[in-house]
Structure formats: structure tokens, C-alpha cells
Chain A
């Protein structure tokens, strides 16, 4: 079993829809939970991170962490075509390097 599981999609939604992206993990020692966005032929860029359980909101993006269920989510409100990208969840290991999910490919259609 991989430490971080993420459905690769692809996920296609119309512009303006609410998008829900999810990951599960198996290592209860993870403390930092991150979402990265990766455009085609680019390196990943950090969208948001959360320490331990709880919610965090930044504009149209909300990250949720439920450590009891080992489940994290990213919600995108009012999705835009420019949000079309691959979204990677990531969790830090003891040395602060990242364990990534496979990534979910999102397409927002006008």
C-alpha cells in the first residue's frame, strides 16, 4: 500500500462548478499536508498547506484535514478554466521531504 493515495481522474467540470479533490494516507505521523498545482510541462507550485487537522481557506480554495480518518480534501469554488491543471496532494516525512499522491488531472470547461 502506498503511503498516499489519490484518484488520478481525469475530472472534467463546467466553469463555475465546485470541485472536490481528495487524498487518503496511511502514515499517522504526517503533520503537514499540502496541495500543489502543476501545469503541463512545469514544476509543481504550492497552493496551500495545513498543519495537523482543521480547515484553511484562501480565496476560492479551502483545504481540509481529518487526521482521525487519514483523509484530506481541497475544494475549489467558482472554478475557472485557468484552474485546469494537475493537483497533487503531498505530506511531509520526518526529514521534511514530501510524499506525493499521483495527482488528479482537472479540466474546467468554459
Chain B
């Protein structure tokens, strides 16, 4: 079974530029999460989708971050414009159902904002 795929793996941009990250979850998984992991911290939830609906985006900075999950499968996370404090690893995870279940994480996209 293929794992969660993310791209790109690394991205370096200047502040005020835009960037987008892509996630392909494990096939058939209903729930998809985006987490932000700042160096030395644990992952922090940004947004949670069930199928193609948003369950929780309370910690997503909506003035600059947006996310969508098309047809309940792939997802993109966008930052526009980026700030220095957005430098972090962006992790995508998926889980099979809509209740409690193991979350499978992708390798993450490491973003550096200069």
C-alpha cells in the first residue's frame, strides 16, 4: 500500500511570495489533515477535511492560508503572501474513517521563507 505522498519536499521563497503544497493521501482514506511543524515543536493542526468538507480550520490563518480538497482525494495548501514565521515543515496526514483512527503521515514539505 502506497503511503501519503507530498510535493515538493523542499521549497525556499522570499517573504511576500506565494507557495503551494500538494498532498495525495492513501487511497480510500476519508479524512485528510494538514499540520504545521515549526522546528523544535510538535505538529499543529491547520485544517481537517472529511471527504471534501472542512471539519476544523480554526487554527488556519485565513488571511494568508487557504486549502482545498478536490473530489475528496488530493489536497493543496497555499500560502499567500508568505511571512518569515511560516518557515516550517508542512505535514499531510490521512486516516481511513471519520472517527478515531491511525493517522498516516507523509514526509512533509520543508518551507524556508527568507
Contacts and interface: CB of A to CB of B under 8 A. Distances in A.
Contacts of A25: none
B100 A43 contact: no
A43 B31 CA distance: 17
Nearest to B33: A97
Contact of A43 (B40, B48, B105): B105
A102 B105 contact: no
A80 B35 CA distance: 30
Given A42-B107, A43-B105, A44-B105, A101 B42 contact: yes
Residue from A41, A44, A49, A88 having most chain B Cβ neighbours under 10 A: A44
Contacts of A43: 4, 91, 93, 105-108
A6 interface: yes
Nearest to A86: B42
Contacts of B4: 43
A69 to B, nearest CB: 21
Bin the interface of chain A by size. 20 to 34
Interface string A4-43: 1010100000000000000000000000100000000111
Contacts of A83: none
A45 B105 contact: yes
Contacts of B99: 96
30 contacts: A4-B42, A8-B40, A32-B100, A41-B107, A41-B108, A41-B110, A42-B107, A43-B91, A43-B93, A43-B106, A43-B107, A44-B43, A44-B91, A46-B103, A49-B102, A88-B43, A92-B100, A95-B55, A95-B56, A96-B31, A96-B48, A96-B98, A96-B101, A97-B56, A98-B33, A99-B45, A100-B42, A101-B42, A102-B41, A102-B42
